[in-house]
Chain A
Amino acid sequence: MADAVPLEVSSPAPSRKPRWSRKVKADNIAGYLFLAPWVIGFLAFTVGPMVASGYLSLTKYSGFGAVKWIAFENYDKIFQDDLFYTALYNTSYYAFLGVPAQLLVALCLAVLLNMKLRYVNVFRTVYYIPTVTPAVANVFLWVWIFNFDFGLINSLLRLVGISPVNWLWDPQIVKPALILMSLWSVGQQMVIFLAALQGVSEELLEAASIDGATNFRRFMRITIPLISPVIFLNLIIGIINLFQTFTVAFIATKGGPINSSLFYVLYIYRKGFESFSMGYASGLAWILFMIILVITAIQFYLSRNWVYYESGGAPS
């Protein structure tokens, strides 16, 4: 994250004098007072639970009664658990196909909405509406839209003479169907792309036009590199979010058919809150954390080849 956006510091950092002046002292007190709620929350709701989760993963605990230390037994079991691999496969499939598809759609929409056209603000509003639709309402709506006999999509397909598809109840199709559904609400990524596109220097684009560059070439050679930090930001956040997909599978497909939409966090939920194996579920959660950490680290490593920072090199 720190690398995604150049960090500017407006005022000089506190100097290293042997004794702090009154101003520096006052600034430090004020700074930490302003930050205090966040620091407390960070410790109580992030660091503490992280550590607790790691500890719990080494125990057998039902949420009630005694916590029994069993060292790495949970992890041994997890690595022999077929459903763990199923969930991991489903989630990776969903995230690695879903995120690029979402970013592509969001970027195309943002480019469309960044054109200097009359009424473009109206379209910006309309395009964001699907994103504010409540997830639960969204899921029920799409279950209905995907309905085999009475749904909107199959009804459209019949109109053009294509045979209907069993979207949510075919193990081969359910994951692509869920990705398709997620493409309807990419407004969050879209507005972030839009903000970035608005920051692209017009002088540069104009200069390229005068030099005879086509629109497409200008987009690939100037716009894309200039917004690459934001593409990277959306990519990182997108992978992390899609690796934690829960609601849609929990409500719409209940992980089925035959576990083909059993996503990782749904499996954690079932283990932790339905079978009350909180130790086991914590182990699953920590493995997810490690997987996301590794993927993110790889992305940061690869980003050196394609993410461009105007200020010359990534800070921090």
Chain B
Amino acid sequence: MVDREEKYIGSISAKVVAYLLLLLGTVISLMPLYWLVMTSLRPAGAEFTYPPEWIPSSFHPENYPVAWNRAPFWLFTFNSILVTFLATLGTLLTASMAAYAFARIPFYGRNVWFALTLSTMMLPWAVTLIPRFLLFKFLGLFDSLWPLFLPFWFGGGAFYIFLIRQFIMTLPVEMEEAAVVDGASRLRIYSMITMPLTKPAIAAVGVFSFIHHWNDFMSPLIFTNREETRTLALGLRYFGDEQFTEFRLIMAVATLMLVPVLVVFFAANKYFVSGVALSGLAGR
């Protein structure tokens, strides 16, 4: 009665409908990005032809260098790479350490700390914004890149800890227990046994963190001021604000900013779109 392989979608017509829906979703997902790239290739002034052209009358890739040279975008890119790299590194290291402790080490007060950790996810960051600004100003780190990555060397964030912890909980403990009997230290077990097995969750957190920091707008806005400390996200905004009429140039820089994110996303895609890395979230 129920075909083993096709228990969800039985008939051909149901399959056709499903694929049509999936294609519709694809069009909606990609249409704005098509608009982004097409706008970035238009001739000067052609953003404002009426009615708008679906395919530009001529292609102008030279918009890209023109846009790139309007502001110190190499510097902004360097700042963004530095912040993203350091913040993600700190997050992966310290979040996985906390996650390991929550998942594997029976220490006194563990459940309390875990509940506290989860509760921070419900805390509006807007409440801590002003004191954190004042804290970094007091430490003399305002208008440097430090505030953008330093906090992420302290646990990286509750959601990441939670995600890795849930993943570790799904792993068998036998190998680790054997290592304990053999007298291996916790640090050794964490780094040599648990972490290699946790790769899918680490990859997912790495991608989330990379995307978050590369795209982050609010923190650079609050914690930096000079042009020298600007990141790409912030640079694009100032650029956009001053040149609001030249949409083709804004779209060119926006396209360039999107490229690294897509590269990282596609590279780690198999880990987290498949749902493997988030398997612990399902709650069994």
Give the interface of A toward B (CB within 8 A).
Answer: 1-2, 4-14, 24, 27-28, 30-32, 34-35, 37-42, 44-46, 48-50, 52-53, 56, 63, 109, 112-113, 115-117, 120-121, 123-130, 132-137, 140-142, 144-145, 149-152, 155, 158, 184, 191-192, 194-196, 198-199, 202, 205-206, 209-210, 229-230, 233, 236-237, 240, 243-244, 246-247, 251, 264-265, 268, 272-273, 278, 281-282, 285-286, 288-289, 292-293, 296, 310, 316
Contacts and interface: CB of A to CB of B under 8 A. Distances in A.
A230 B105 contact: no
A113 B2 CA distance: 21
Chain A interface helix/strand/loop/mixed: helix
Given A11-B104, A49-B131, A191-B275, A38 B32 contact: no
Given A39-B113, A133-B258, A134-B233, A49 B135 contact: yes
Interface in B118-168: 118-135, 137, 151, 153-155, 161-162, 166
15 contacts: A5-B283, A30-B107, A31-B106, A34-B97, A44-B135, A45-B151, A45-B154, A137-B255, A140-B250, A140-B254, A150-B47, A150-B48, A198-B279, A209-B1, A210-B2
B117 interface: yes
Interface residues of B, number: 114
A144 B47 CA distance: 10
B119 A63 contact: no
B71 interface: no
Contact of A240 (B122, B272, B279): B122
Given A34-B97, A38-B154, A137-B254, A117 B15 contact: yes
A206 B2 CA distance: 8
Interface string B22-37: 1001101111110110
Given A8-B169, A35-B98, A134 B151 contact: no
B115 interface: yes
Contact of B50 (A27, A52, A136, A149): A149
A42 B18 contact: no
A117 B19 contact: yes
A251 B274 contact: no
Contacts of A273: 133, 222
Contacts of B214: 134
Given A27-B105, A45-B132, A129 B33 contact: yes
Contacts of A152: 31-32, 35, 52
Residue among A46, A123, A236, A243 with most chain B CB within 10 A = A46
B32 A142 contact: yes
B122 A1 contact: yes
Given A53-B131, A151-B52, A265-B126, A41 B107 contact: no
B269 A125 contact: yes
A292 B33 contact: no
B52 A150 contact: yes
Contact of A209 (B2, B104, B166, B254): B2
Interface of B: 1-2, 5-9, 15, 18-19, 21-22, 25-26, 28-33, 35-36, 39, 47-52, 94-95, 97-98, 100-108, 110-111, 113-135, 137, 151, 153-155, 161-162, 166, 169, 173, 186-187, 190, 211, 214-215, 217-218, 222, 232-234, 236-237, 240, 247, 250-251, 254-255, 257-258, 261-262, 265-266, 269, 272-275, 278-279, 281-284
B106 A112 contact: no
A126 B30 contact: yes
A31 B105 contact: yes
Contacts of B255: 137
Contacts of B95: 38
B124 A127 contact: no
A128 B281 contact: no
Contact of A191 (B28, B121, B211, B272): B272
Nearest to A205: B7
A112 B21 contact: yes
Residue among A49, A198, A199, A243 with most chain B CB within 10 A = A49
A14 B106 contact: yes
A137 B40 CA distance: 12
A197 to B, nearest CB: 8
A195 B170 CA distance: 14
Nearest to B180: A23
Nearest to A150: B52
B14 to A, nearest CB: 9
A124 B281 contact: no
Contacts of B102: 35
Nearest to A114: B8
A281 B51 CA distance: 45
A117 B20 CA distance: 12
A52 B172 CA distance: 43
Contact of A46 (B111, B128, B211, B283): B128
Given A48-B131, A135-B217, A135-B233, A195 B279 contact: yes
Contacts of B115: 2, 316
A30 B101 CA distance: 8
A316 B111 contact: yes
